Amino acid sequence: MSTSTPITRLCTKAPRTSLLPFVQLRHESTSRRHKKLMHLPEAPSYTPTRSAPTLVFNPPSSAPSAYHTPLKFLPPNDRRRKLNTEALKYASATSHRQQTSALAAPGTPLHIASHLPPKPSSMLPPPVRKPYEKKYTLGEVEIAEIRRLRLSDPDKWTRVKLAEKFGCTQFFVGMLVRVPEKHQRVETSHQKARDMWGERRRGAREDRIRRRAMWGRDE
């Protein structure tokens, strides 16, 4: 059999348009590379520092128990503080020993191509919501002004508008001043709308409330 390139492939090959140099792209096309990629580092508990036989405790990942008090919540004279610090030191030493090489650091191509789980790092995970600093800027004058505006025209000066104007939360406005008449009116109209719901929508809303209450009970 001939090993030369067939004529058809030579004809269909597009000419090089760019003058940029070739960049080598390494895919996981061979079994060797795939195997290398699947090679996971051993768990820290399997890599003892001593040669003497030790107890290997490597439980599967699960939600932490509520009975394990976090380090911050321990009283200052608790003995577990010292033990916890030692365990933390050991864990950080282990993770430093198995730290990701500089080539595979985040942002490099090697990191992106990899399907491996992220190696341990000292970086904190990203916050769910943008952290904000609590401001205690409103004084007596502003609070009196908020109350006056809200009571003078509750339809115009809603909680949202007042919160935007004074730079506080809607919740804080609700703590400062209440308008029972408007609350009654809005509640009646909402109830009227709720009464028109069918069975499915009502059931779905009730289930949502029930599920929300289960969050606090940890069910």
- Note whether 200 binds another protein by CB under 8 A: no
> In angstroms, rounded to a whole number, what is the distance separating the alpha carbons of residues 35 and 26?
14
Q: Which residue has 């609350």 as its token pair?
A: 183
Q: Are 104 and 117 in contact (CB under 8 A)?
A: no
Q: Is 209 in the site for another protein (CB under 8 A)?
A: no
Task: With beta carbons less than 8 A apart as the criterion, state whether 98 and 41 touch.
Answer: yes
Site map 19..48 versus another protein, x via CB under 8 A? ------------------------------
Indicate the residue among 125 and 139 with the shorter CB distance to another protein: 125
Decide: is 202 part of the binding site for another protein (CB under 8 A).
no
Minimum distance, C-beta of residue 118 to another protein, in the bound complex (Å): 9
d(CA 73, CA 81): 10
The rounded distance, in Å, linking the Cα atoms of 86 and 167 is 45
User: Measured from the CB of residue 102, what is the shortest distance to another protein in angstroms?
Assistant: 24
Report if residue 68 touches another protein, rule: CB under 8 A: yes
Chain contacts with another protein (rule: CB under 8 A): 63-64, 66-75, 78-80, 124-129, 131, 134, 215-218
